[in-house]
Structure 1
Amino acid sequence: MPKPWGPTTTAIHAGRRFNPTRAVTTPIFQTSVFQLLENREGAEFAASVEPPAFYTRWGNPNQSEVEAVLAELEGAERALVTASGMAAFALVFEAFLKTGDHLVAPSAIYLGTEQLIRRWEAERDLKVTWVQNTLDQGEWEAAIRPETRLIWVETPSNPTLALTDLAAVAALGRKHGIRTVADNTFPSPIHTKPLDFGIDLSVASATKYLAGHSDVVAGVLAGREADVVACWHLSKIWGPTLDPMAAWLLHRGLKTLALRVRRSSDNAQALAQWLLWQPHVARVDYPGLPTHPGHVVAARQMDKGFGGMVCFELAAGLLAGQRFCEALEVITRGVSLGGVESLIQHPASMSHLKTAPEVKARLGITDGLLRFSVGIEDQPDLIADLEKGFQAAAGAR
């Protein structure tokens, strides 16, 4: 039975049954294979699900420990860690979709997920309906077909921080017998537990807030035992295994997850409000602002803050965005998010430079848009750095 612990106690202690030693911190089991004490063990392990001491592609104590923690944090029956977030997403697609099926997904979505969907369209004849207004439940309902097998949501979305009502989408999935999946990378289970709202599977790039130190690439999926085991059987064959060192780093990061996420969320809320008053800013997207279209939904399904991601648009456009990023000293230019350090990127000249204009328009990426992953630095230092960016961007046209 799950312990009635808070998130930090859970992150520190939930997986300790997988530590077979007396070390307070579980050692790194940097091994590909484990000794079998007798022949019978080999047969038992080969027939079991994710044995922690057989062969590391099947399981490893470091993997088992961090999966136990993640399952508890997400309120799931089971979790599975993978070598990247995209590996976790691909496993879900492979486990629960087949050729010719139909998928419903938001039109503004993480570029990697869109590329996965496009590949399935081209190679597996996947049919896709893209939902434009994720707050319009009628549009989600209208997208459903008899052959719909999966509803995929992001909330808040990447990169424009659009909100989706998780409970409403989950109810829609149950009504039609469709599996629902939520990419929970941005809020993490500290702010949102999708399964609490009826979503079937919560997936995430653990590279981001879960690990939190920009030193490991990992993914996770969490949900019902049967669903996660189905994905594990595929993982055992494909081999997107999270290595023991990475699993250990992920667990170490989780121990401070609640502290880090709440600090970055507090910083983001303050900075979003400050950005509203800056003359060079055309708009600020942050779920914690009453002006955000999804604020009411966010307030209902996000707990103790609205996350560390802020998007804001410079009125002067492309050149201003480039100059802004180049002038920063504390805030690092980088395409990821969720680390202790603040990261910023200008999608129009960086991650989405080669993206077709019509796709950028659908994703909400304008020439002046900046995606700001707020870290845990001191607020005055971040504000001073942002002011340098505004000074550099002034006069750009």
Structure 2
Amino acid sequence: MDPKGWGLSTTAIHAGKAHNGTRSVTTPIFQTSVFELMENAEGAEFANAVEPPQFYTRWGNPNFSEVQQVVASLEGAERALVTSSGMSAFATVFDTFLQPGDHVVAPAAVYLGTEQLLRRWEARKGLKITWVQNTLDTGEWDEAVTDRTRLILAETPSNPTLAVTDLAAIAAIGRRKGVRTVADNTFATPIFTKPVELGIDLSVSSATKYLGGHSDLVAGVIAGSEADIAACWATTKLTGPTLDPIAAWLLHRGLKTLYLRVRRASDNAQSLAAWLLWQPQVARVDYPGTKDHPGHEVATRQMNGGYGAMMSFDLRGGLVAGQRFCEALRIITRAVSLGGVESLIQHPASMSHLRTPPEVKARLGITDGLLRFSVGIEDEADLKADLETGFLAADAAR
């Protein structure tokens, strides 16, 4: 972590420059699989080093080293590691710190990919999982931990229903019981939440989303202590979820505008959430920035200066209304993923969770009319006008 006391934008632009090694203002792309060794002793040194930046790109690369320093600085962590996707980041954490038969505590409403990965461990490696139903209930988290628990996983705000978890409280449970804690920080980003500074051991994000910010790369990041990240790197050295140097360069470019992008998108989301509450077609708005959100108080305490740009809202018209709503939009793009400069929307019941069993959808909070809305940085008036077009289409479907 850079100990310079810089602000977030300055950190995102200037941290990690020691890894450039040239006089270029923008770091070049080191598109190479291997680096020349000046002498045999150097090869021996690198072969025993942790993530040498100029040895072999599966082990490290100057583009990795630079962007990892930026992420670590933004997260307030000792070190960070980039991987080829958010899912590979979580897979690396599980592979590094879990053994067959271990126990994990996780939220019942969690990103589908994360749940599927945990279920895979459950089926193939005998992993025991306790699913926390009310993420705001610290007692439920505490009671779920056993002497076999090795990992507590939190996701806040959660995907897709924006449930909130008190990270400081989870971290305290982990410390008291000697259990490693992990937080998915994809939605909040380090601009609004720094899990490590709240006591969480590892902050993991899909960098595909806000950190990259332009829907042009797939990447993951893990931030935490020197020892934990070195352990994760040792796993990736063997399993090979290596990020391409071009993607690492794009990620760093995206990080330079992270503060500006997420603040603008969050401001849009705050305004739109308040507006959506007044629309007769909307049964419910899930956004931590609204005062009636169950997690508003906790979110206000642990999120710094904003509540993020993700929300979901439930249409009264149900399945058909949700489909017609999305199909009528012209500015807001119907697509999976999130966190780009453009607004994205999806209807889980007819898209990502179409074949999900009803009982699982109920546990995840996915209703027929639920829409997940990633608010972008477009002009707010244009987004409102587009949403009104969607409401007209939804009304026609009823």
Q: 1:2 Cα shift?
A: 1.3
Partner Cα separation in structure 2 for residue 366 and residue 342 of structure 1: 21
For 1:216, give the aligned amino acid.
Answer: L
**Residues 325-344 of structure 1 correspond to what in structure 2 (within 5 A)?**
325-344=326-345
1:97 and 2:98 correspond: yes
Deviation (angstroms), 1:395: 3.8
Counterpart in 2 of 1:78? 79
State the distance in 1 between where 2:306 and 2:359 align.
33
In the TM superposition, residue 130 of structure 1 has moved relative to its aligned partner by: 0.2
Other-structure match for 1:14: 15
Q: Is residue 365 of structure 2 the alignment partner of residue 364 of structure 1?
A: yes
SS at match of 1:394: helix
* Residue number in structure 1 paired with 2:46: 45
The question of 1:141 aligning with 2:139 is answered: no
1:256-311 Cα offsets, whole Å, 9 max, x none, are 00000000000000000000000000010100000100000000000110000010
Count of matched residue pairs: 397
CA–CA distance in 1 between the matches of 2:43 and 2:128?
43
Task: Compute the displacement of 1:328 (Å).
Answer: 0.2
Matches within 5 A, 1:346-365: 346-365=347-366
Displacement of 1:142 in angstroms is 1.1
Deviation at 1:390, TM superposition (A): 0.2
The equivalent residue for 2:230 is 229
- 1:3 Cα offset (Å): 1.2
CA positional deviation for 1:115: 0.4
Give the residue type in structure 2 aligned to 1:133: N
Q: Distance in 1 between matches of 2:189 and 2:163?
A: 16
Code of the aligned partner of 1:166: L
CA distance in 2, matches of 1:365, 1:209: 23
In structure 1, how many angstroms separate the alpha carbons of the residues matched to 2:342 and 2:226? 35
**C-alpha separation in 2, matches of 1:189 and 1:166:** 14
Aligned to 1:296: 297
Matches of 1:115 and 1:128, distance apart in 2: 12
Where does residue 241 of structure 1 map in the other structure? Answer: 242
**Alpha-carbon distance between aligned partners in 2 of 1:234 and 1:140, rounded to the nearest angstrom:** 28
1:341-361 Cα offsets, whole Å, 9 max, x none, are 000000000000010100000
The question of 1:29 aligning with 2:35 is answered: no
Structure-2 separation of matches of 1:244 and 1:167: 35
* Per-residue deviation, residues 131-180 of structure 1 (Å, max 9, x unmatched): 00000111111101110000000000001000000010000001100000
The CA distance in 2 between the partners of 1:219 and 1:253, in whole Å, is: 14
Q: Which amino acid aligns with 1:179?
A: R
Superposition pairs of residues 228-307 of structure 1, within 5 angstroms: 228-307=229-308
Match of 2:167 in 1: 166
Task: Structure 1: state its 5+ residue gaps.
Answer: none
1:218-272 deviation line (CA, Å, top 9, x unaligned)? 0000000000000000100111001100000000000000000000000000000
Q: What is the distance in 2 between the residues matched to 1:281 and 1:375?
A: 20
Whether 1:118 aligns to 2:119 is yes
Opposite residue 249 of structure 1, the aligned amino acid is L
Q: CA RMSD in A?
A: 0.6
- Distance (whole Å) between structure 1 residues aligned to residue 261 and residue 350 of structure 2: 29
CA distance in 2, matches of 1:255, 1:261: 12
Find out whether 1:211 has 2:191 as its counterpart.
no
Residue identity over aligned pairs, in percent, reads: 75
**SS across alignment from 2:204:** strand
